[in-house]
Structure 1
Amino acid sequence: MNPQDVLPFPPTPTASVAGRTMQESVYQQRVAPSRLPDDAPNILIILMDDAGPGLPDTFGGAVATDTLSRVIDEGIGFNRFHTTAMCSPTRASLLTGRNHHRIGNGQIAELANDWDGYAGEIPKSSALAPEVLKDYGYATAAFGKWHNTPAIETGVTGPFHNWPTSIGFEYFYGFLAGEASQYEPNLVRNTTSVLPPRTPEDGYHLSEDLADDAIGWLRNHRALSPEKPFFMYWAPGAIHGPHHIMKEWADKYAGRFDGGWDEYRELVFEQAKEKGWIPGDSTLTDRDPRMPAWDDIPEDEREFQTRLMELAAGFAEHADVQAGRVVDEIEHLGYGDNTLIMYIWGDNGSSGEGQNGTISELLAQNGIPSTVPMHIQAMNEMGGVEVLGTPKSDNMYHAGWAWAGSTPYKGMKLLASHLGGTRNPMAVRWPARIAPDPAPRAQFVHCTDIVPTIYDLLGISPPRVVNGIPQDPIDGSSFAEAFTDADAEETHLTQYFEIMGSRAIYHDGWMASAFGPRAPWVPGVPEGIADWTPDHDSWELYHLAEDWTQANDVADSHPEKLAQMKELFTIEAAKNSVFPIGGALWIPIYHPELRISTPYRSWNFTGDLRRMPEVVAPQLGNRANTVTIDAVVPENASGVLYALGGAGGGLTCYLDDGYLWYEHNLFIVKRTKIRSRERLAAGRAEVIVETKYLDPQPGGALSIAISVDGEEIATGIVPVSAPGLFSANDCLDIGICLGGSVSLDYFDRAPFPFDGEIKTVDVKYTN
């Protein structure tokens, strides 16, 4: 058997001959054989988040992306690179070379279910590229967003077998969720929870921190193991919501978007053609009738909407600058010439999950109806438009900007049916091997092709067994020949797409598409979705070889071709565990009660519990429960007793000048505050917070009753609760609020530690 077939390689045997004595022995130092070519390149993959092709000025947009432009100017660009239309699926496919359903990533891990294609866990039969490269001699490191560990396993006790450092990366620094506050993220270094090194007041921003840490890792690598090539995966959370960025970055774009998304889209389309990024005969696709025009936006809401886009633009530019710092360090350390950089602008298209524009983007994901005036009122109550982009908000732009950010295509994130959801730009630079070429490569390339391309360049055969586990076949194909030959033959001829029932099939220049049951920018659950079946969807057909943007549906004139394409989709779906179509909807639509959560019904915490991710913490905001706190209360006590969630939404119980407060922050737009009638007396106290549902429906009203030593001291009603999570990345803290400030009342005193002593906190569900 070829030694490349089985990994890891066996230990290098001794080169010495042992005799009875050292005098009778022959000593020779063993030397492990080299497994890589002498000129094996370093590899840097940069992956931006929720970013469409219509944003970078590299391709005709308004956002300054000097690093992206630099990489493409010194290398080549691919204008037909494709993703899956959703973050976790793309990342899993990009790092394994397998289709996303085949490896259980038909959707994000938080919505995992028991269908094979949607199980939410990358199987060990599909080893990640860093696992293979590590065995061949690469140093491997990952930074930023990691959204491929089952959510229930992301607590500080693991289990760790699905964390980055257990599946190929020797070092990891970042966050395990789908998004994070850029100011107060819940961070992990390897398998240890860590706090950000600075506060927002000290100028902390996550994207900068990720660049700092990557630079530090590169310097250590250069000092300690310079003989090894490195594989670095740098994937910041930008520009996934919340769109957190410092004021000066957003102010660069003041007034740039005042004409609205329709005007912006037309401008970007023309500039993309002028730059040669898209063909000159391309057609600008129409706006979906369910998407409002800019002219539909009331005048008194336009400042809010344009500021949201200015913040997104500043956030995107800032992230690109941080990527540039990493590239600069690679150059500074002498690695530049032989480093292969793949800079992918977006793991899917721009995101419309902000829907009508929001000050707290998980409001929409919880399915809670709201109006733009409600968001504006909440913003104004906190100080006006300048609060957007700060630690006090979790803002995200109107879906109209996402549509414009995916110019010239119809789709956006979550639409696997249409380009814009699945077509993202990629720039590639490798000075030692790739001559700069301004003409974009037009071969069809998919995220599953990254791994086989790397293996091809290194002469690695995909292993058949890794760590004792037989391996699934690679689904992608190498596009390495296109690095040096602009006219290289296209190798990826067939590819299916499917996310939450939205689906398509590409084959040899044709694409058939079915939009699916929901438009991601339309608030609420679509009417009739519980009865949806893919059999009722109408299919569209596009000849992409002649129709670059998917603008001309030819289904009526080519019924036989459409039938052929639909049959091909069925074949590919069966091969890749896509069935049942729309399987990702099983939890959020059909069975929300099965959403992954902690299996426990009671907890006993000590007073120093820190950073327990909300997804594994007790659900204090949407389950009937009792919290019992055994505390020693000083005179006129102050500080947080517990906090769940963050600034964008959560609940908290705290003392302030002796008074006990409970606050339920419904995604900023509605805050319910309950205060004790009297100050708490100094001494040992038993504080009980009892939560009951007044309305058993998801999001129903809550009754809150607070007692101290058996005496009721405060009651109140929370009129609307959060049926899902308050946050994606924030936590439960006891005795302090280390994440975003749930209450504005202690924002300026954060993390507002309790100045007494908490001995225990007992939590139990009561339903």
Structure 2
Amino acid sequence: MSQASWNEYRPGQGFPGVVGRTTEESSPAWPQPVRAVPGAPNVMLIVLDDTGYGQLGCYGSPIETPNLDALATGGLLYSNMHTTALCSPSRSCIVTGRNHHANGMAAITELATGYPGYNGQIPFENGFLSEMLLQHGYNTYMVGKWHLMPSEQESAAGPYDRWPLGRGFERFYGFLGGDCSQWYPDLVYDNHQVEPSATPEEGYHLTEDLVERAMSFIADAKQVAPDKPFFLNLCPGATHAPHHVPTEWADRYRGRFDDGWDAYREHTFDRQKQLGVVPADAELSPRDPDVPAWESLSPEARRLATRMMEVYAGFLSHTDHHIGRLLDFLKETGEFDNTLIMVVSDNGASAEGGVTGTTNEMQFFNNAPETLDESLARIDELGGPGTFNHYPWGWTWAGNTPFRRWKRETYRGGVSDPFLVHWPDGIRARGEIRAQFAHIIDMVPTVLDVLGIEPPASIRGVTQSPLHGVSFAHTFDDATAASRHRTQYYEMFGHRAIDHNGWRAVCPWPGPSFAEADRPFGTSITMADLDDLDAHHWELYHVDNDVAETLNLADEHRSKLIEMIALWYVEAGKYNVLPIDGSALERLMLERPQITQARSGYTFRPGTQVLPAAVAPRVLNRPHSVTADVEIPPGGAAGVLLCQGANAGGWTFYVKDGHLHYAHNYVQRALYHVGSREKVPEGRHTLRFEFEPTGNPDIAHGKGASGRAQLYIDGRLVGETDMPFTTPVAFNPGGMACGANPGSAVTPDYRAPFRFTGTLHTVTVDLSGDLIVDAPSEMRMHMARQ
């Protein structure tokens, strides 16, 4: 029977066939399968991470990105696209078409607080593009970075309704959090954790793995349904820290950045003018007060900074290479010309490496930067599996040429990003620049527009909210078309801005730069602060004529500024922006609701999934114990009992050479170790580690609580040491694992995964403060209450 002879009906309609007493007197009909419109294009979004406006070759950068440049040559380059200044918020806008506070994504999910615009839970009424296209016969694939749900929901306990497969993606392969090692990633396949297919020594790298998986997802479906279109959301970890890349890619840039970031800016700006990316009469933003002049650096500092930039450039070129492999695959399969490709970065280049850069970004998050000499000692390791590196913020500033500032701030360096559109079958224009104002909330409406799809009224029974963005499809073949997006607010960590009809107002917090601020980044905003900010610290720029925010017109156009401030508050009221919160560290350390009631005891078993940090017991800066119930076979056993973190920082409790051990990796700057004086005997035993704080943490200076580390076998003290300080804030990457150390080894004392070879029944973590050695003191009681 041919398809044409099938009698079909839409689900919900009455059965159009005939039902008699037998099939002889009956006629069948079938529920109509969901099919895409014939010839419907594939849709592929490529979301780069922390890639600045001046870092792609087609935007004037000296970094080689030939495959992305080819998309610009064969399609459109947008010079006026805007984001939110941070990753999770931007990514929520890209897939929903709604503003980030309306998505509950005021900041990254790890900083969620208990307000509608800040809770990290994208409402189900804000449907994803994947959910929309699924209703129209598309296969939907999510590959790479997710970072779009509360961190507390990343464990095997779920709930899974905000995981990719719960938000309309049929297949997922990637990582759930904000970053991960490119060499030892924390991988999830659909709804379960998996280990990488190879080791770095065997040639593994995450970007290559992600592209391979994307191609396999497409190929899997196309061999069965070659005419069925797909939606692929490809989100590599690149170029977010760690800047991990094979050495040969970094070595391609040897000597290319020796003239420094000042020269990079000048050369890139000149090239941007030649390309037409910025107007010929544009002015370059002035020197950033936080960035030292290149010539002021010592030769050693310049050598380190240069190598860090070589590694970054190699990382970006390596990413471009693998994106090129995916594009070649689409050409080979005949899908390239009818695939609508959009390439965007989630925010401007990142300054999280600090003024000097770092071999381990976790030092930044723990306020524990290494010295120049410490960094130089590891210069040849940069980009490799033993580092978690990030370049100095001088390169960040240069990478956002021609704009001022960077990620996390709402000056244009934080929110203006590269954006490419390529679709040979749907766009006549080739190699042209579009200068219309746009924002990433416009991407979903544009895709729906070109597909001829109306935003759904409901998804899985949930009535949908209106889209906030507007389509820019009318600009595809008309360079002179006016933008339909007239007003756009911004807020990130209390740093605010608004664009309206070619004008831009910015209210920086805590100041226009760190050097000009009287308080550090991440400071809370009081009512007095807000009154002062609104009265005295808004800046005004006519960006239609001043793309790089070089001339503050706040005094000359006071009435326009007041209008813009009022408009910002109108938009803030619409989209759940209030209350304005400038804090960072406080949000990171905030206790949030868990899916189970708070408890002081946790029990783990080997072979279970790795526990993300957000749901793992919080052992930092407080008394705690770790107790393992083991059986040691004849001849002994070895391996990890429980660990948390990775080579970038963490702790591990393990048996080696017959002895019991504990090691605390302080952001790779120090390793505190204690081993037992006697061997663990054969048979069943209780092995225990205790930490008893002896001093207060000094988080501002990167030092967690000092304390005494003690080891016990069957209740007998067999080893102790004093740790002058510990990790103050967080371990990342790497979760808490029982019976093995997946990924990179927390300590160089063993090679991962170092699975325990005896019988490990359970491991219990106790946070009650009930320690075997009881030495009461005010400090101990204080810490026990934390």
Matched, 1:650 2:650: yes
How far 1:527 moved relative to its partner?
8.2
How far 1:495 moved relative to its partner?
0.2
Structure 1 match to 2:713: 708
Structure 1 match to 2:501: 508
Q: Give the alignment partner of residue 395 of structure 1, picking from 389, 393, 408.
A: 389
Structure 2 match to 1:157: 157
Structure 2 match to 1:424: 417
Matched, 1:742 2:736: no
8 A Cα contact 2:503 2:544, kept in partner: yes
Aligned AA for 2:708? S
Residues 527 and 619 of structure 1: CA distance in aligned 2, closer, same or farther (over 3 Å) = closer
Matched, 1:534 2:563: no
Aligned AA for 2:716? E
Question: SS of 1:644's equivalent?
Answer: strand
Structure of greater relative contact order (alpha carbons < 8 Å, 6+ residues apart): 1
How far 1:654 moved relative to its partner?
2.0
Structure 2 match to 1:549: 548
Structure 1 match to 2:45: 45
Residues 317 and 534 of structure 1: CA distance in aligned 2, closer, same or farther (over 3 Å) = farther
Question: SS of 1:78's equivalent?
Answer: strand
Structure 2 match to 1:4: none
In structure 2, C-alpha distance between the alignment counterparts of 1:645 and 1:590, rounded to whole Å = 21
Residues 90 and 591 of structure 1: CA distance in aligned 2, closer, same or farther (over 3 Å) = closer
Structure 2 match to 1:359: 359
How far 1:588 moved relative to its partner?
2.5
Matched, 1:186 2:183: no
8 A Cα contact 1:140 1:232, kept in partner: yes
In structure 1, C-alpha distance between the alignment counterparts of 2:53 and 2:312, rounded to whole Å = 14
Aligned AA for 2:585? P
Query: How do 1:109-148 and structure 2 match up within 5 A?
Result: 109-148=109-148
Residues 528 and 631 of structure 1: CA distance in aligned 2, closer, same or farther (over 3 Å) = closer
8 A Cα contact 1:514 1:540, kept in partner: yes
In structure 2, C-alpha distance between the alignment counterparts of 1:281 and 1:148, rounded to whole Å = 40
Structure 1 match to 2:19: 18
Question: SS of 1:295's equivalent?
Answer: helix
Query: How do 1:659-698 and structure 2 match up within 5 A?
Result: 659-697=659-697, 698=699
Q: Give the alignment partner of residue 737 of structure 2, picking from 726, 730, 733.
A: 733
Residues 628 and 600 of structure 1: CA distance in aligned 2, closer, same or farther (over 3 Å) = same
Structure 2 match to 1:220: 220
Structure 2 match to 1:753: 755
Structure 2 match to 1:323: 323
8 A Cα contact 2:289 2:513, kept in partner: no
Aligned AA for 1:600? R
In structure 2, C-alpha distance between the alignment counterparts of 1:249 and 1:172, rounded to whole Å = 28
In structure 2, C-alpha distance between the alignment counterparts of 1:82 and 1:472, rounded to whole Å = 22
Question: SS of 1:197's equivalent?
Answer: coil
Residues 662 and 276 of structure 1: CA distance in aligned 2, closer, same or farther (over 3 Å) = same
Residues 705 and 122 of structure 1: CA distance in aligned 2, closer, same or farther (over 3 Å) = same
Structure 1 match to 2:5: none
Greater mean deviation of Cα atoms: 459-468 or 597-606? 597-606
**1:269-315 superposed Cα distances (whole Å, 9 cap, x missing partner):** 11111122111111111122122222332222222221111111111
Query: How do 1:270-285 and structure 2 match up within 5 A?
Result: 270-285=270-285
Query: How do 1:437-586 and structure 2 match up within 5 A?
Result: 437-517=430-510, 526=520, 529-530=523-524, 532=526, 533-537=529-533, 538-582=537-581, 585=583
Structure 2 match to 1:385: 379
Greater mean deviation of Cα atoms: 616-625 or 705-714? 616-625
Structure 1 match to 2:779: none
Query: How do 1:301-320 and structure 2 match up within 5 A?
Result: 301-320=301-320
In structure 2, C-alpha distance between the alignment counterparts of 1:591 and 1:48, rounded to whole Å = 24
8 A Cα contact 2:351 2:407, kept in partner: yes
8 A Cα contact 1:88 1:105, kept in partner: yes
8 A Cα contact 2:111 2:587, kept in partner: no
Residues 320 and 672 of structure 1: CA distance in aligned 2, closer, same or farther (over 3 Å) = same
How far 1:530 moved relative to its partner?
4.4
TM-score, structure 2 normalization = 0.91
Question: SS of 2:498's equivalent?
Answer: strand
8 A Cα contact 2:34 2:136, kept in partner: no
Number of aligned residue pairs: give it: 745
Residues 21 and 530 of structure 1: CA distance in aligned 2, closer, same or farther (over 3 Å) = closer
RMSD, aligned α-carbons: 2.1
8 A Cα contact 1:127 1:466, kept in partner: yes
Aligned AA for 2:632? V
Matched, 1:407 2:406: no
Greater mean deviation of Cα atoms: 332-341 or 616-625? 616-625
Greater mean deviation of Cα atoms: 43-52 or 658-667? 658-667
Question: SS of 1:233's equivalent?
Answer: strand
How far 1:267 moved relative to its partner?
1.2
**1:494-542 superposed Cα distances (whole Å, 9 cap, x missing partner):** 0001100111000000000011126797899718934653333311111
8 A Cα contact 2:288 2:405, kept in partner: no
How far 1:33 moved relative to its partner?
7.0
8 A Cα contact 1:165 1:172, kept in partner: yes
**1:305-337 superposed Cα distances (whole Å, 9 cap, x missing partner):** 211111111111111111111111111111112
Query: How do 1:152-301 and structure 2 match up within 5 A?
Result: 152-301=152-301
Aligned AA for 1:741? A
In structure 1, C-alpha distance between the alignment counterparts of 2:658 and 2:564, rounded to whole Å = 69
In structure 1, C-alpha distance between the alignment counterparts of 2:57 and 2:631, rounded to whole Å = 58
TM-score, structure 1 normalization = 0.94
In structure 1, C-alpha distance between the alignment counterparts of 2:569 and 2:443, rounded to whole Å = 25
Greater mean deviation of Cα atoms: 500-509 or 514-523? 514-523
Aligned AA for 1:490? S
**1:538-575 superposed Cα distances (whole Å, 9 cap, x missing partner):** 11111011111111111111111111111111111111
In structure 2, C-alpha distance between the alignment counterparts of 1:675 and 1:194, rounded to whole Å = 32
In structure 1, C-alpha distance between the alignment counterparts of 2:683 and 2:627, rounded to whole Å = 16
**1:241-283 superposed Cα distances (whole Å, 9 cap, x missing partner):** 1111111111111111112211211111111111221111111
In structure 2, C-alpha distance between the alignment counterparts of 1:214 and 1:254, rounded to whole Å = 32
Residues 33 and 268 of structure 1: CA distance in aligned 2, closer, same or farther (over 3 Å) = closer
How far 1:29 moved relative to its partner?
4.6
Question: SS of 1:651's equivalent?
Answer: strand
In structure 2, C-alpha distance between the alignment counterparts of 1:620 and 1:82, rounded to whole Å = 40
In structure 1, C-alpha distance between the alignment counterparts of 2:232 and 2:620, rounded to whole Å = 39
In structure 1, C-alpha distance between the alignment counterparts of 2:639 and 2:683, rounded to whole Å = 15
Aligned AA for 1:27? P
Aligned AA for 1:390? G
In structure 2, C-alpha distance between the alignment counterparts of 1:275 and 1:750, rounded to whole Å = 49
How far 1:613 moved relative to its partner?
1.6
Question: SS of 2:761's equivalent?
Answer: strand
Aligned AA for 1:562? L
In structure 2, C-alpha distance between the alignment counterparts of 1:133 and 1:571, rounded to whole Å = 32
8 A Cα contact 1:276 1:439, kept in partner: no
In structure 2, C-alpha distance between the alignment counterparts of 1:600 and 1:270, rounded to whole Å = 60
8 A Cα contact 2:99 2:575, kept in partner: yes
In structure 1, C-alpha distance between the alignment counterparts of 2:531 and 2:600, rounded to whole Å = 41
Residues 684 and 279 of structure 1: CA distance in aligned 2, closer, same or farther (over 3 Å) = same
8 A Cα contact 1:636 1:679, kept in partner: no
Question: SS of 2:677's equivalent?
Answer: coil
In structure 1, C-alpha distance between the alignment counterparts of 2:126 and 2:269, rounded to whole Å = 39
In structure 1, C-alpha distance between the alignment counterparts of 2:408 and 2:454, rounded to whole Å = 34
Residues 590 and 137 of structure 1: CA distance in aligned 2, closer, same or farther (over 3 Å) = closer
Identity %: 39
Aligned AA for 1:315? F
- List gaps (5 residues or longer) in structure 1: 1-8
Structure 2 match to 1:6: none
Residues 518 and 742 of structure 1: CA distance in aligned 2, closer, same or farther (over 3 Å) = farther
8 A Cα contact 1:636 1:659, kept in partner: no
How far 1:721 moved relative to its partner?
2.0
Question: SS of 2:414's equivalent?
Answer: coil
8 A Cα contact 1:41 1:339, kept in partner: yes
